[in-house]
Structure 1
Amino acid sequence: MAGTETHYILPRPELAAPAKLLIVVSPYYKDIADNMIAGAAAEIEAAGATYEVIEVPGALEIPTAIAISDRGSNFDGYVALGCVIRGETTHYDTVCNDSSRAIQLLGLQGLCIGNGILTVENRAQAEVRADPAEQNKGAGAAAAALHLIALTRKWGDQTKGVGFKAPSEAIKLAATDNGPSTA
């Protein structure tokens, strides 16, 4: 049973400069969303970061809102929060798979996103996962975003280049050489 297992949790990352995060939440199940926001907010504040919260209608809109924000804002990272509870139709599978896939694609493009969209079988599972005194998945999603921000800051200025890269000595010679000498 997942509730009795213990898991290793990484220490909170130390950020040299404050970070600013956007919590994007679908309050479809308002009480669950509110608990997740509380957990995420506490984790962000404990790391010395700041945040804003925006609401979207459902889990499928969360990745789109993150992409829109990334094009026009200055957030260092994002926390995606929502809850999808299995119902009687296959809509559950579509929402779970497509929201997760879209968030993953945004992450592969370089966005720092902690995915806290719960995908559960019933309300009881969601309540335990959202509760800051229980599994606190909102805080876990915020911690994931903070860790990705720390990695981006650590490696963000490094560039590897694409394709063939001439040795540095050859670059120096090419910059100073005007062609073969005839002397």
Structure 2
Amino acid sequence: MAASLSHTVLPRPEFDRPVKVLIVVSPYYSDIANGLLSGAKAELEAAGAAWDVIEMPGALEIPTAIGISDRRSSFDGYVALGCVIRGETTHYETVCNDSSRALQLLGLQGLCIGNGILTVENFEQAAVRADPDGQNKGGGAAAAALHLIALGRKWGSQSKGIGFKPQGQDTLMAGDPDGTTSA
């Protein structure tokens, strides 16, 4: 049983500048969502991060909401929270796979996302995972987002160069050989 296995929890990252995180939650199973949300908020507050919460109808809408928010706001990271419980149809596989894949693709584009969308066989499994005093998967998703934000800030100012532009060299515009602009 997975609950009896021990695992390593990384130390909480520390930040020298404020951190703002958007929590995107689907309250489809409201008891589960409330547990996940409570754990995520507690983890963010312990790290000194500010947070906002928006709700989406289901797990499939969470990645789209994060993508829209990233294009139109200034959040440092995101926490995706929800729950998908296996039913009698293949809809479970579609929702699990597509929401996870979309979050992963957003992450590969550079977004700092902690994935706390539970994919479980039954309500009891979800309740154990969502409980802030149990497995606290909401807190774990928030911690993952914080670690990604810290990594992005650590390496964010480094440049590998673009095209023929050597690393660390400023870009000069045509007709402006010394880099200054004339008014």
TM-score, length basis structure 2: 0.89
Equivalent position SS for 2:41: helix
State the shift of 1:18 in Å: 1.6
Q: Counterparts in 2 of 1:85-104, with a 5 A limit?
A: 85-104=85-104
Equivalent position SS for 2:82: strand
Q: Which residue is 1:7 aligned to?
A: 7
CA distance in 1, matches of 2:39, 2:56: 19
Judged with a 3 Å threshold, the aligned counterparts in structure 2 of structure 1 residues 166 and 79 are, in CA distance, closer, same or farther, namely closer
Tell me the matched-pair count. Answer: 170
CA RMSD of aligned residues (A): 1.6
Tell me which amino acid in the other structure corresponds to 1:10: L
Tell me which structure has the larger Cα radius of gyration. 1
Q: Which runs of 5+ in 2 are unaligned?
A: 169-176, 179-183
CA distance in 1, matches of 2:120, 2:145: 22
The structure whose residues are more often helix, as a share, is 1
State the shift of 1:162 in Å: 3.7
CA shift digits 1:21-60 (9 cap, x unpaired): 0000000000000000000000000000010000000000
Q: Counterparts in 2 of 1:140-159, with a 5 A limit?
A: 140-159=140-159
Q: Which runs of 5+ in 1 are unaligned?
A: 169-174, 177-183
CA distance in 2, matches of 1:167, 1:129: 45
Equivalent position SS for 2:160: coil
TM-score, length basis structure 1: 0.89
CA distance in 2, matches of 1:167, 1:59: 41
CA shift digits 1:50-91 (9 cap, x unpaired): 100000000000000000000111100000000000000000
Contact preservation (8 Å) 2:14, 2:47 = yes
Judged with a 3 Å threshold, the aligned counterparts in structure 2 of structure 1 residues 74 and 165 are, in CA distance, closer, same or farther, namely closer
